[in-house]
Amino acid sequence: MPARKLNVGLLGCGTVGGGLVELVARNQALIRQRSGVELNISRILVRDTAKQRPGVPESLLTTHPEKVIDNGCDVVVELVGGIEPARALIQRSLARRKHVVTANKALLAIDGFSLMKAAALQSVRLGFEASVCGGIPIVRALREGLVGNRVESLSGILNGTCNYILTRMGEDGIDLDTALRHAQDNGFAEADPALDVDGFDAAQKLKILAELALNVRIGVDAVRVQGIRDITRDDLEHASNLGFVIKHVAGAHTNNGGVALSAEPMLLPRSHPLAAVNNENNAVVVRGDAVGEVLFSGKGAGSLPSASAVLSDLVDIACHQGGFTASPDAKVAATQVVEDARYYVRFPVRETTAIGSISDILERNGIRVSRAAAIWARNGDGQHQVRLLTEACSRQRLDVAREDISRLPFAGGTSLALRIAD
């Protein structure tokens, strides 16, 4: 097979960029043998050319983006991250009819459709396998492998940091701050973990996957987001005694012609396909009208897994130039509220007699309690926890009731409500 050569301009040479350079060098012959594609990294944009980068040829480095984009490359790989200048660099590349591959989930979440449209107008391709779930080929699976399916729902563990923290809290009986420190020590969490632990990273990835899977556009604020900061090891232990694990789950469900989207910690029964996905791993369950449920899981981030995803996009572009692009003319989805569900709710209170009053207020809001218990505080600070499971109810009504309860004299702080998966 004669080799098809693909000249690659690389914007950014951090964790993923460095991994890409390493992987291309290591598996060049294998990739050529498999696909007939010869990848050539022709130029690399960096901030500081003097920095030591083992394995990266110094002669390729430049601090001028135009030297990467305008120098005759076939495809530009954007690994700069963030909104600007990443967006301007991608737009410039597309305008010059370069294919683009990006791992930039934040940018795609706010601007994915207009970038896809710009790519389609220029008849070039925009690859973004690396933006979601690292090396798991989920974008390709949705675009191609499951193309004949009407996707009914999609749910996943999309944030490795949250999953690592919740797994360690549950298995080691440590608190959230300790687990977060372990995550940071092991490279599974950023120095500033807010985007991860508050749920926004998962929400961005969900938006990308849901637009692809459901073939709709989704409004920026359509995802109900809840982070994991309020979850204690007691919550995990209590859930475990009831047969559940707690996971941060991002999900999209079609529902009365619209889409309900949420990224939130949930109680999953141990038999749930996502319940066994532990530590920094990611996973996605897609339910299609033909295939039923399909599960994909693996490492959701990291240098080489993400580089593997970038590589698959590059080979795809080399093999199928001018081929498949996602249709950028999808309609904006009607966003639905999350359907009625059972909830695990915990109220911090100052009196053990509070259970009755709490149940009364819940019932006045149309919420039935299926199971309740008061637990004495472990720390001897005089604070009790009332924990209960509700029957299926509306999240809106539950939040109204929680608000009412928080104003009662015995209330001891903010309550926590976690959805229970069916």
Task: Give the catalytic positions in this structure.
Answer: 205
- For every residue of 336-351, which 3-state class applies, written as one string? CCCCCEEEEEEEEECC
For residue 296, report the phi and psi dihedrals to the nearest 5 degrees: -125, 130
Q: Round the CA-based radius of gyration of the chain to a whole number and report it.
A: 24
For residue 17, report the phi and psi dihedrals to the nearest 5 degrees: -60, -45
Instruction: With contacts defined by CB under 8 A, name the span among 21-29, 193-201, 225-233, 395-403 that binds its own copies.
Output: 21-29
Instruction: With contacts defined by CB under 8 A, name the span among 16-24, 43-51, 192-200, 239-247 that binds its own copies.
Output: 16-24
> Which of residues 21 and 388 has its CB atom nearest to its own copies in the complex?
21
Residue 201 touches its own copies, criterion: CB under 8 A? no
One residue of 288, 345, 347, 354 binding its own copies per CB under 8 A: 288
326-355 binders of its own copies (CB under 8 A): 326-327, 329-330
Residue 1 touches its own copies, criterion: CB under 8 A? yes
Q: Hey, which residues does 307 pair with through a beta bridge?
A: none
For residue 251, how far is the Cα from the chain centroid? 10
Residue 290 touches its own copies, criterion: CB under 8 A? yes
What are 314's two structure tokens?
A: 């590059």
> Which of residues 136 and 162 has its CB atom nearest to its own copies in the complex?
136
Q: Hey, which residues does 285 pair with through a beta bridge?
A: 155, 295
Q: How far is the CB of 300 from its own copies (least distance, A)?
A: 10
C-alpha distance across the termini of the chain, in Å: 51
Instruction: With contacts defined by CB under 8 A, name the span among 28-36, 76-84, 174-182, 360-368 that binds its own copies.
Output: 28-36
CB 262 within 8 A of CB 250: yes
Within a 13 Å sphere around the CA of 7, how many CA atoms are in the beta-carbon half? 11
Residue 27 touches its own copies, criterion: CB under 8 A? yes
CB 235 within 8 A of CB 169: no
> Which of residues 139 and 389 has its CB atom nearest to its own copies in the complex?
139
d(CA 308, CA 43): 19
**Which are the contacts of 112, defined by CB distance < 8 A and separation ≥ 6?**
128, 207, 208, 211
d(CA 241, CA 245): 9
Residue 291 touches its own copies, criterion: CB under 8 A? yes
Residue 50 touches its own copies, criterion: CB under 8 A? no
One residue of 312, 357, 385, 390 binding its own copies per CB under 8 A: 312
d(CA 405, CA 354): 10
Residue 89 touches its own copies, criterion: CB under 8 A? no
d(CA 81, CA 107): 8
What are 381's two structure tokens?
A: 């600070």
d(CA 22, CA 36): 20
What are 293's two structure tokens?
A: 């449920």
> Which of residues 267 and 315 has its CB atom nearest to its own copies in the complex?
315
Residue 55 touches its own copies, criterion: CB under 8 A? no
For residue 311, how far is the Cα from the chain centroid? 20
Q: How far is the CB of 353 from its own copies (least distance, A)?
A: 43
> Which of residues 96 and 140 has its CB atom nearest to its own copies in the complex?
140
Residue 135 touches its own copies, criterion: CB under 8 A? yes
> Which of residues 133 and 223 has its CB atom nearest to its own copies in the complex?
133
Residue 296 touches its own copies, criterion: CB under 8 A? yes
139-158 binders of its own copies (CB under 8 A): 140-141, 143-150
Q: Where are the beta strands (DSSP E) in 188-257?
A: 223-225, 244-255
Count of residues engaged in binding its own copies, rule: CB under 8 A? 60
> Which of residues 53 and 299 has its CB atom nearest to its own copies in the complex?
299
> Which of residues 155 and 226 has its CB atom nearest to its own copies in the complex?
155
Residue 307 touches its own copies, criterion: CB under 8 A? yes
Q: How far is the CB of 82 from its own copies (least distance, A)?
A: 25
Binding site for its own copies (CB under 8 A): 1, 19, 23-24, 26-27, 30-31, 33-36, 129, 134-137, 140-141, 143-150, 215, 273, 276, 283, 288-299, 304-305, 307-309, 311-312, 315-316, 319-320, 323-324, 326-327, 329-330
